[in-house]
Structure 1
Amino acid sequence: MSLSVVVDDREPPAVAEAVRAHADVDAVASRRLASGDVVVGDVGIERKTLSDYVSTLLGRSAPDLYDQVRRLSEAHPHSYLLLEAELPADGDEGVPAAAVRGSAASITARFGTPVIPCSDLDRLVDMAVRLGRKHVEEPSTPALPNGSVTTLGAPTAKRMYGCIDGVGTDTAGRLYEAYPAVADAVAASPEELMRIDGVGPKRADAIYAAFRDGG
């Protein structure tokens, strides 16, 4: 399935170039967006480097992070905040790691907008395209063989879990029951993931890696 993607014209050129290079993208337009940095159909995506995320979280730069996410969630049926980095360790960017995880959990719970760490720009773009594709596919379309989730009406976090290779409908449901907030699943260790019925060592490692390697 080929997709059309819109990239905000204030984004660095490398963002549009990475989107254009993606195999599933048919067309890329660049224009000023009222909210978000990348739009794929009904999916609005806010891209943040770790520095940007922390600056807007702490009010070092405008607009406020929560206001940005609120506008994003109001403007698009489906919204995500993709972090062009890993979740930080204590001391990174001068903010406790727990504060970043807490804000990610708060954003997910308050706005239904998952915060997903994507390591680098290429993985971020790949995640954005995958999310956009999942929201426009018919439920019967097996484009991601091991990652189809029940329905497009399922909770956002549950649909996201279903995008992980090797995670089917049942496992996505159990993951969602254990971790309704994506940020909590991101923070879980493989050992903690293995406590979920049906998640063995290999699947736990795959889930753990997906949140750190862009899936």
Structure 2
Amino acid sequence: MPNENIFYQKKIEVCDEMKPTVIADHRESQSGVIQHLLAVGVDVKFEKLDVGDYIIGDVGIERKTAGDFLQSIVDGRLLNQAKLLSETFEHPIIIIEGTDLHGRRLIHPNAIRGALAALSTDLGVSVIQTTDEEDTAGFIAVIARRSMKKKREIPLERRKPPSPTLDRLQRFVLEGLPGVSVILAERLLRKFKTVERVMMASEAELMLVPGIGPKKAKKIREILTSPYEFSQQGI
């Protein structure tokens, strides 16, 4: 019988490793979203998050009910929260939960449209509207599964782009930096114009680019400025 218990325990551990995982802010623990995530097989880990309500890899999600979204426009919180979300995560998302966005408060429709436009065009934040907690959980679960699939498909070595045009090679160079995807490489080049200027940028200058927060900027500068120390294990 002991062997059966060991086998069963190992089987459970393997299954847990294969589950998509979401990090949730501890204040979301009583939310119906959590129950729906667990029901569809998503593993949820709780932490005290300084930014966002849910984290999936390089995706940061801020969840707002329709009422809270409108209130955050009125009291001026929205753009500050969105800016912090954009600076911290490579893929920032705001979920607006509820279908009555235009019916809860006496706020002009153009103010709502302006806020939505600013989020996407000025700050690079994706805005998703869901109907309820179950719909929100379904959307988060899809992102978690895609993230898990993406990790499995990441090659061990970077390969030169098939058509090595100058712009692709420039992005390719920057994609070798920690946490820099093709999208972030494009943002860096648009901001600094050349690869050389990106490499010379300070932490403060790097953080002017949406998707680069203090931790990522510090890591990039660490990679660029640390003396090389040969390690046989690194080859």
- Fold shared per TM-score above 0.5: yes
**Counterpart selection for 2:149 from 111, 119, 137:** 137
Q: Which runs of 5+ in 1 are unaligned?
A: 142-151, 156-215
**Cross-structure match for 1:100:** 112
Aligned to 1:56, the other structure's residue is in SS state helix
Matching of residues 5-44 of structure 1 within 5 Å: 5-11=22-28, 13=30, 14-23=32-41, 25=42, 27-44=43-60
For 1:21, the aligned partner's letter is A
5+ residue gaps, structure 2, are 1-17, 154-180, 185-235
Q: Is the 8 A contact 2:25 2:53 kept in 1?
A: yes
Distance 2:105 2:29 in 1: 21
Distance 1:135 1:111, change over 3 A: farther
* Native 8 Å contact 1:43 1:135 kept in 2: no
Greater percentage in helix: 2
Q: Which of the pair has more CA radius of gyration?
A: 2
Does the Cα contact within 8 Å between 2:67 and 2:104 map onto a contact in 1?
no
Q: Percent identity over the alignment?
A: 28
User: C-alpha separation between the residues in 2 aligned to 1:96 and 1:69?
Assistant: 21
Secondary structure of the residue aligned to 2:52 is coil
Q: What amino acid is the match of 1:100?
A: I
The answer on whether the counterparts of 1:85 and 1:119 sit within 8 Å (CA) in structure 2 is yes
Number of residue equivalences: 139
Tell me which residue corresponds to 2:223: none
Instruction: State the TM-score, normalizing by the size of structure 1.
Output: 0.57
Superposed CA offset, 1:81-136 (max 9, x none) = 001112623x4322123322221121011111111111111111111222343345
2:83/2:123 contact within 8 Å kept: yes
**Structure 2 CA distance for aligned equivalents of residues 140 and 11 of structure 1:** 29
TM-align CA RMSD:
2.5
Normalized against structure 2, the TM-score is what? 0.52
The match for 2:163 is none
Q: Distance between the aligned counterparts of 2:37 and 2:46, measured in 1?
A: 11
2:13 corresponds in structure 1 to: none
Distance 1:87 1:140, change over 3 A: farther
Q: Which residue does the alignment assign to 1:71?
A: 84
For 2:139, the equivalent position in structure 1 comes to 127
